[in-house]
Structure 1
Amino acid sequence: MLRMQIGRALQGKNSSTQTFLFALVPLLLLLLAAQLIGVARLYSANWDEAHHLYDGYLSLTRGDYRLNAEVPPLVKMTAALPLLHLHPVLPGSEGSAHTDNAFLGGRTFVFSNGGDRLLFPARMACMFFSLLTALVLYAFGRHVFGELAAVCALFLFVFDPNVLAHGALISTDMGSACFILATIYAFYRYREKPGWQWLLLAGLMSGFAMAAKFTGIFIAPMLVLIAVIEALRERSLPVFGKLMASCAGILLCAWGVIWAFYRFRYAPAPMGLEFSPPLAPYLASLPHPSDGTMLALVARFHLLPEAYLWGLANTKHTEWEYTAYFLGRVYRHGPWEYFPLAFLIKSTLPLLTLLLLALMAWRDAARRYSQALVFLLVPVCVYFAVITTSHFDIGARHMMPMYPFLYLIAGAAAAMLLRRGHGWAVLAAVLLVWQVVTVMRVAPAYMAYGNEAWGGPLAVRRYLSDSNVDWGQQLKTVKQYLDRNHITNCWFAYFPDGAVQPQDYGVECKRLPTPSALWWLSLPMEVPPKIDGTVLISESDLDGVESGDGALNPYDAFRTLHPVAILQDGVYVYRGSFAVPLASAWVDVHHADLLAHSGQPGEALRLARQAEALAPDSPRVQLELADVLAMQQQWQKASHHYQLAQQELAKQRPDLQGEELGSAIEAGLKAAAAHP
């Protein structure tokens, strides 16, 4: 009797109810589109969008994949499609390495062609992936669990803050989620009724997933594990052989799709143009030599396009180089707990509650829906296991491919509860309404969302940072705030400064240094030891995401101050007079280095000593002073400051600074010892 009740609940067999539910689907899709359009209009360009769009346009129009191969081309080229009829003007070469040129040229490309004139239609193109994900989620849920469960899953997905935060951006996360879900759905339909149509669709979708983001390659272990479990469930060796052959066919088709996106050409660009740096030395420089050896073997036999291999190598470099902010501390490499905690903070409480209730509700239905559970849970478990053991801990957005599967389970659980009895139905209805209220409360600052159990959006920075809160998307809101309050005397430490600049949106504040803006992109700035007026600091810089925490962070003192405003939950505003000695010393050190290498040792020494007076305990400052002294052959003094740099490095988070400064200090000490 209970099984029959569960079956009716999941299948929702009342025809009038099914008609009503089916009518809700286009309404929910329109609501999703409307919310995403609002985000696309409100958010300024973030860290990655300009260079993704620029690279996508060059890939589409010139077949040149060198500019920024850090992600595959599908999403970037899709974003660039609406630009073809706009005929944007291309910037000249920035004269730097291709990855630097992607950011510098990307900014010039977007903002010299009207900013939103390019960004908005590109974002609308990327919104397609969110809408397609919603449709596939609905189709998957309807086929497996019935109309009610499918609509509940779609409803929860449409009102998910993480989906709304990233669903219209020129970013690969939603594209990856879309095609991983579509691949598993097609494979599920093939498993039910084998035929070449579903097998071909699974192959195409898996190829799209791998051409959207490199995490698409996780489809391979997902499919294989599903095949193994299905064979074990049926205790059949022939089933295992057939499913493994199917997996091989899917992956072979995916391989062909990848080559198609690179025009079936191994070279990354026409006319023999190469990467900078070329692939071979780039592979040799990987932090783990075994990764380089494996990719070099693939390159030797041209098994994948060179740009795809270069991008895979780039993910290994960035995984090693990026720091992670976790529980108020910056780590050289994020701890394994990062994504489990991020999931608990960034997921809505209605979703988490429904997943817990699903454990109880599915106890009676697990046998009937055991096959569906395999196809829904294996992708989640494989993906979560891989990202948890990685060190690429810069944002919960990397969990996006898990959420459609989890919402299918949650939607099925909600459908069961709605049909189980009055009390359970009330609980399910409350959870569904709660999901809407959650979105309304956080709107439009969806990116900073954190659920109520952890204190809400403004409390997220206690635990997480970077694109969990602040991806630099607040410049339009900053501009409105400054204009509304008639503020002209202002300073701004802006997280993506250089990739996007506040001036691109009319924010004319004086620049405060960030590690990327100063050390990488070398943007012009002058910062005195004491500043006054209105000071704006991106949340990621306030937390020291790039610089390090505590004494390494030039804005650490602001963390104890009460801001006069918080814009889009990601830019903190202060008013008054503030000492910023480390920020000023950073600028002096950078200028000293430039002067020293341009034949102006006297002025370089003056600035280096000025920096030392401001921040004598900074190993970076002591190292620069020692280097300038060494260039002037003042070896005894240089040795002294190299030793001071080494001592301070040992005291101040050598795990964060050692890779960058440690070898330079040791080389300086050896050189000084050779010149007594």
Structure 2
Amino acid sequence: MKQTSLNSLLIISLLLIHTVLIAYSANRHSPNLNEPGHLVAGISHWKYQRFELYRVNPPLVRMVAAFIPTFFMNIETNWEHFDERPGVRPVFRIGSDFVIANGENSYWIFTVARWVCIPFSLLGGFFCYRWAKELYGTRAGLLSLSLWCFSPNILAHAQFITPDCCASAMGIVSSYFFWKWLNGRSWLTTLFSGFAMGLALLSKTTWIILFGLWPLLWLVWQFIEGESLEKGTWKSQIIQLATILGIGIYVLNVGYGFEGTCIKLKEYQFVSESLSGQDYADENQSVLPLRKSSNRFKNTWLGEMPVPVPKNYLIGLDVQKKDFEHFGRESYLRGEFRDHGWWYYYLYALAIKVPIGYWIIFILASIHAIACWAGKISLQNLFVLGLPVFTILVLVSSQTEFSHHLRYVLLIFPFVFIWMGQCVLWISKAKPKTSCIFFISFVWAITSSLYCYPHSLSYFNELVRGPLKGHEHLIHSNIDWGQDLKLLKEWIEEHPEAKPMHVCYYGTLNYYGQEDIKALGVDYPLPPINTTGDPNFVPPPGWYAISVNYLKGYGWKQPKNGFTYLQKYSPVARAGYSIYIYHVKEKSLKM
């Protein structure tokens, strides 16, 4: 009884610490590049029961985030830039208009919206504990929970209203219940598994892979078991599996209010090459959002089939696919820019964005799995935990049109944390030297994560000398997502001598100018732009604050390499790890 109470206390304590860490960092950071779009989309879902905005992702997390702002807060909205033409994505402009309309009150609005989403992360952590406990015991569950609660990548995305952490949580919840179904195949686990699958589908479109992954896992499970099933048993299992998938589709439709469900395929207007059947390879990339829509299925027998998913769910998949086709977005890795990505980008990002201590624990856990192989049971659990990880990594790595964000593979983290939990089984039987390696690795991992906190988004491990050198390897949301504007504002207020000040911030100005950051209390002109590429370009004396993305030469909607001249100077301060502050004097150049 005492041990049970102690375990419960540890679980509650870890989840409480996790909550405090997320809540504080959510309050410290400004809206990132994508959050205004997510919030206004969520508001539109509640107010108008329409799902066009941000349809490249399902609406679960943004509807939860927008609930309190929509119904219980005094907010201003501006929908004048709404545009529903095929392929157009006006949500970023509408998000910028929202920030302008609400001014500095936006900080509090986004803080509240973020806090409402904290339970998603708590749910993910709890199911890491529960699954690892059922596989390897209570101590393994506590280890997996700790790995979730202190992971810098989970902390980074759990504080935002973007779908990545929510999708990771709902993915592990749904996979847990499917695993329970595989073990018992009862109608109760069938219902739970189908409902959880629907929530996963509503969290991120990536989980559409479950429609192929789960039937495959069921077949593999049966093959490994090697037991012959009677005809009636096979029929029962197939009916239950079909029920799981059917409930998942039903819950997905409920989330969209059955908007456009069962429209015939021929009635859709698509803009991607894959679904429209048109070749856009020679088009000007700047006008891709205005592509002429079409439908390759219009005059085929498939066109007569009703589509059992919401209209904007399928259109969102189409628009997302269009963004990956000939998009021309420049990608960055280890100081190199190019107009397409790398197949190994996400493997490299994992190597330097995950604490080294986590990697050591993963290796120890894998050694334990090999040393203590339990035949069929180990193989079945390996497939249930490992196949989603492998599938997601292959799927994401194969999209080499551009490579930008480690968060695209955040979905694999809870599966790996559960796998790592078995490490404690081996440690309890191992020699003191091995146990010492484990404890040092665990303490090192947590310390490394908390050392960077609350700037967890900008975390890099010691292999690349931490977040101060991280931008030499990765940029974009791996280090600079526009999250540190509030910290810059505070620094400027604390340093009135920093005049004249110039600011180049990677946020919504990335699209529409500086009006929104003026509304957020940072009203300063852009630094001079080096339009000629002159390596000897010298700006006038003054103070310069620049986001890392532009410092490194990122050029999306800004002059490429227009601000890289500041790399010749030594920064005097930082706002987090994503905005560098320079004081340019006559003799401030490095020698």
The TM-score normalised by the length of structure 2 is 0.85
Shift of residue 562 of structure 1? 2.2
- Alignment-derived partner of residue 104 in structure 1: 93
- Alignment-derived partner of residue 342 in structure 1: 349
- Whether 2:88 is the aligned partner of 1:94: answer no
- Alignment-derived partner of residue 522 in structure 2: 507
Q: Residues 286 and 350 from structure 1, CA distance in 2 versus in 1: closer, same or farther, beyond 3 angstroms?
A: same
- Alignment-derived partner of residue 596 in structure 1: none
Shift of residue 508 of structure 1? 1.7
Is this contact kept in 1: 2:361–2:442, CA < 8 A?
A: no
What is the rounded CA distance, in whole Å, between the counterparts of 1:147 and 1:472 in structure 2?
Answer: 40
What is the rounded CA distance, in whole Å, between the counterparts of 1:350 and 1:456 in structure 2?
Answer: 14
Is this contact kept in 2: 1:152–1:415, CA < 8 A?
A: no
What is the rounded CA distance, in whole Å, between the counterparts of 1:577 and 1:400 in structure 2?
Answer: 43
Q: Residues 407 and 309 from structure 1, CA distance in 2 versus in 1: closer, same or farther, beyond 3 angstroms?
A: same
- Alignment-derived partner of residue 142 in structure 1: 133
Is this contact kept in 2: 1:180–1:219, CA < 8 A?
A: no
Q: Residues 249 and 323 from structure 1, CA distance in 2 versus in 1: closer, same or farther, beyond 3 angstroms?
A: farther
Is this contact kept in 2: 1:18–1:147, CA < 8 A?
A: no
Deviations 1:242-281 (A, max 9, x none): 655544332221111121111112089xxxxxxxxx9615
Q: Residues 530 and 557 from structure 1, CA distance in 2 versus in 1: closer, same or farther, beyond 3 angstroms?
A: closer
Deviations 1:364-422 (A, max 9, x none): 32225332222111111111111111135221111111111111111221343145343
Deviations 1:170-223 (A, max 9, x none): 111011111111111001111111211211111111111111111011222321
- Alignment-derived partner of residue 291 in structure 2: none
Is this contact kept in 2: 1:43–1:474, CA < 8 A?
A: yes
Q: Residues 219 and 573 from structure 1, CA distance in 2 versus in 1: closer, same or farther, beyond 3 angstroms?
A: same
- Whether 2:286 is the aligned partner of 1:262: answer no
Shift of residue 154 of structure 1? 0.6
Is this contact kept in 2: 1:350–1:434, CA < 8 A?
A: yes
Q: Residues 461 and 147 from structure 1, CA distance in 2 versus in 1: closer, same or farther, beyond 3 angstroms?
A: same
Shift of residue 556 of structure 1? 2.6
Shift of residue 240 of structure 1? 7.2
What is the rounded CA distance, in whole Å, between the counterparts of 2:455 and 2:322 in structure 1?
Answer: 31
What is the rounded CA distance, in whole Å, between the counterparts of 1:226 and 1:267 in structure 2?
Answer: 28
2:522 is paired with a residue whose SS is: coil
- Alignment-derived partner of residue 31 in structure 2: 45
1:307 to 278, 291, 312: 312
Is this contact kept in 2: 1:42–1:476, CA < 8 A?
A: yes
Shift of residue 290 of structure 1? 9.4
2:580 is paired with a residue whose SS is: strand
- Alignment-derived partner of residue 570 in structure 1: 578
- Alignment-derived partner of residue 188 in structure 1: 179
Shift of residue 433 of structure 1? 1.4
1:115 is paired with a residue whose SS is: helix
Q: Residues 70 and 393 from structure 1, CA distance in 2 versus in 1: closer, same or farther, beyond 3 angstroms?
A: same
1:206 to 197, 211, 232: 197
What is the rounded CA distance, in whole Å, between the counterparts of 2:223 and 2:321 in structure 1?
Answer: 35
Q: Residues 294 and 162 from structure 1, CA distance in 2 versus in 1: closer, same or farther, beyond 3 angstroms?
A: farther
1:433 to 433, 440, 443: 443
What is the rounded CA distance, in whole Å, between the counterparts of 2:501 and 2:305 in structure 1?
Answer: 54
The 5-angstrom pairing of residues 652-663 of structure 1 reads none
- Aligned residue pairs total 542
Instruction: Please tell me the residue identity of whatever aligns with 1:249.
Output: T
Max radius of gyration: which structure? 1
2:545 is paired with a residue whose SS is: strand
- Whether 2:266 is the aligned partner of 1:280: answer no
Is this contact kept in 1: 2:484–2:578, CA < 8 A?
A: yes
Q: Residues 88 and 533 from structure 1, CA distance in 2 versus in 1: closer, same or farther, beyond 3 angstroms?
A: same
What is the rounded CA distance, in whole Å, between the counterparts of 1:206 and 1:376 in structure 2?
Answer: 16
- Alignment-derived partner of residue 411 in structure 1: 421
Instruction: Please tell me the residue identity of whatever aligns with 1:535.
Output: Y
Q: Percent identity?
A: 23
Shift of residue 531 of structure 1? 4.3
Q: Residues 534 and 202 from structure 1, CA distance in 2 versus in 1: closer, same or farther, beyond 3 angstroms?
A: same
2:43 to 38, 51, 57: 57
Unaligned runs of 5+ in 1: 1-14, 269-277, 515-527, 579-676
Q: Residues 425 and 293 from structure 1, CA distance in 2 versus in 1: closer, same or farther, beyond 3 angstroms?
A: farther
Shift of residue 301 of structure 1? 2.7
Is this contact kept in 1: 2:249–2:308, CA < 8 A?
A: no
Instruction: Please tell me the residue identity of whatever aligns with 1:318.
Output: D
2:7 to 8, 21, 24: 21
The 5-angstrom pairing of residues 100-249 of structure 1 reads 101-110=90-99, 112-113=101-102, 114-236=105-227, 238=229, 245-249=239-243
- Whether 2:393 is the aligned partner of 1:387: answer no
Instruction: Please tell me the residue identity of whatever aligns with 1:572.
Output: Y
Is this contact kept in 1: 2:99–2:520, CA < 8 A?
A: no
Shift of residue 145 of structure 1? 1.3
- Alignment-derived partner of residue 561 in structure 2: 553
| Worse-matched range after superposition: 391-400 or 414-423 | 414-423
Shift of residue 504 of structure 1? 3.1
2:546 is paired with a residue whose SS is: strand
What is the rounded CA distance, in whole Å, between the counterparts of 2:304 and 2:5 in structure 1?
Answer: 54
Is this contact kept in 2: 1:286–1:316, CA < 8 A?
A: no
Deviations 1:22-70 (A, max 9, x none): 3200000000000001111011000111110111111122111122212
Unaligned runs of 5+ in 2: 281-293, 530-536, 587-591
Is this contact kept in 1: 2:128–2:414, CA < 8 A?
A: yes
1:77 to 63, 81, 99: 63
The 5-angstrom pairing of residues 587-602 of structure 1 reads none
The TM-score normalised by the length of structure 1 is 0.74
Deviations 1:472-500 (A, max 9, x none): 00011101111222124111121123368
Deviations 1:126-167 (A, max 9, x none): 212111101111111112211100001111111111111111
Is this contact kept in 2: 1:231–1:240, CA < 8 A?
A: no
1:575 is paired with a residue whose SS is: strand
- Alignment-derived partner of residue 538 in structure 1: 547
- Alignment-derived partner of residue 323 in structure 2: 318
Is this contact kept in 2: 1:470–1:539, CA < 8 A?
A: yes
Give the structure with the higher percent helix. 1
What is the rounded CA distance, in whole Å, between the counterparts of 1:119 and 1:299 in structure 2?
Answer: 44
Instruction: Please tell me the residue identity of whatever aligns with 1:209.
Output: A
Shift of residue 561 of structure 1? 3.1
Instruction: Please tell me the residue identity of whatever aligns with 1:219.
Output: L
Q: Residues 294 and 224 from structure 1, CA distance in 2 versus in 1: closer, same or farther, beyond 3 angstroms?
A: farther
Is this contact kept in 1: 2:198–2:247, CA < 8 A?
A: yes
Q: Residues 216 and 431 from structure 1, CA distance in 2 versus in 1: closer, same or farther, beyond 3 angstroms?
A: same
- Alignment-derived partner of residue 252 in structure 1: 246
The 5-angstrom pairing of residues 476-495 of structure 1 reads 476-486=486-496, 487-495=498-506
Instruction: Please tell me the residue identity of whatever aligns with 1:248.
Output: A
1:112 is paired with a residue whose SS is: helix
Bigger RCO (CA 8 Å, 6+ sep)? 2
Is this contact kept in 2: 1:283–1:293, CA < 8 A?
A: no
Deviations 1:520-546 (A, max 9, x none): xxxxxxxx9954411111111122334
Is this contact kept in 1: 2:61–2:163, CA < 8 A?
A: yes
What is the rounded CA distance, in whole Å, between the counterparts of 2:523 and 2:39 in structure 1?
Answer: 25
Shift of residue 452 of structure 1? 0.8
Shift of residue 225 of structure 1? 2.8
What is the rounded CA distance, in whole Å, between the counterparts of 1:360 and 1:179 in structure 2?
Answer: 29
Is this contact kept in 2: 1:466–1:545, CA < 8 A?
A: no
- Alignment-derived partner of residue 9 in structure 1: none
Shift of residue 80 of structure 1? 0.9
- Whether 2:450 is the aligned partner of 1:461: answer no
Shift of residue 104 of structure 1? 2.5
Is this contact kept in 1: 2:92–2:508, CA < 8 A?
A: no
Shift of residue 123 of structure 1? 0.3
